[in-house]
Amino acid sequence: MDLAELADRYTIHQVLLRYARGLDRLDNELVRSCYWDDAIEDHGHFVGSPDDFIAWADGTTLMFETTQHAILNHVCDLQGDEAFCETYYHFSGVTAEGPNFMSTGRYVDHFCRRDGEWRIANRVTIVEGTYDVPKAAHAPASPYSADEPSQARRDRSDVSYHRPPLPRRPR
């Protein structure tokens, strides 16, 4: 494997991570940057354009207080300016009252490199399992006091966007 191939594999994996982060932070611009304009997203109950998918995903994930998209096993068949990838995912959505929701499956992607940039050209999301997860009877104590808000946000005010990240003041 040469350095150019390693760089391509790394760049494609970064697109997948950017996609997951964008969905969890409700950062539509970040999610949109992962797709070519003519891409088709086939995602369970949804099939359509990237812009229509993002609008659909927003409506779906807003029912949750927080979400996490984890990118897991990833294989990539590079063929010049095209790549055919299979990436396992784990999605969890937390609700105020429960039950929480979990989904597992795979993204089967066709990536294309155009003008030196890799993006998703087409995606089929294979949902392999969906699960309702009950709220824990005894949730762990929050590290935040009642008058101190959590640092987690579902927008660009989230601490992950801060450069540098801003820690809380010691108590």
Phi and psi angles of residue 99, each rounded to the nearest 5 degrees, phi first: -70, 160
pLDDT at residue number 149: 61
Please tell me which residue, 152 or 122, carries the higher pLDDT value: 122
Tell me, what's the pLDDT at 144?
A: 59
Confirm if 84 and 74 have CB atoms less than 8 A apart. no
Task: Name the least confident of 64-73, 127-136, 161-170.
Answer: 161-170
The DSSP H or E segment spanning 82 is strand 82-94
Confidence of residue 62 (pLDDT cuts 50, 70, 90): confident
Tokens of residue 120, six digits: 């998703």
The predicted pLDDT at position 143 comes to: 60
Neighbours of 16 (CB within 10 A): 21
Q: What is the pTM of this model?
A: 0.89
Find out whether 33 and 115 touch, Cβ atoms under 8 Å. Answer: no
Strands 35-43 and 117-133: parallel
Predicted confidence band at 145 (pLDDT cuts at 50, 70, 90)? low
- Cβ neighbors of 26 (< 8 A, separation 6 or more) are 58, 61, 62, 154, 155
Residue indicated by tokens 């104590």: 141
Q: Quote the distance between the C-alpha of residue 33 and its chain's center.
A: 12
Q: Which domains does the chain have, with CATH numbers?
A: 3-137 (3.10.450.50)
pLDDT digits (tens, 9 = 90+) for 83-101: 999 999 999 999 988 899 9
Q: What is the mean pLDDT of residues 31-51?
A: 97
Provide the pLDDT for residue 142.
60
Residue 161 is which amino acid? Y
What does the block give as tokens for 37? 């304009």
Percent of the chain with pLDDT over 90: 72
Lowest mean pLDDT across 19-23, 92-96, 118-122, 139-143: 139-143
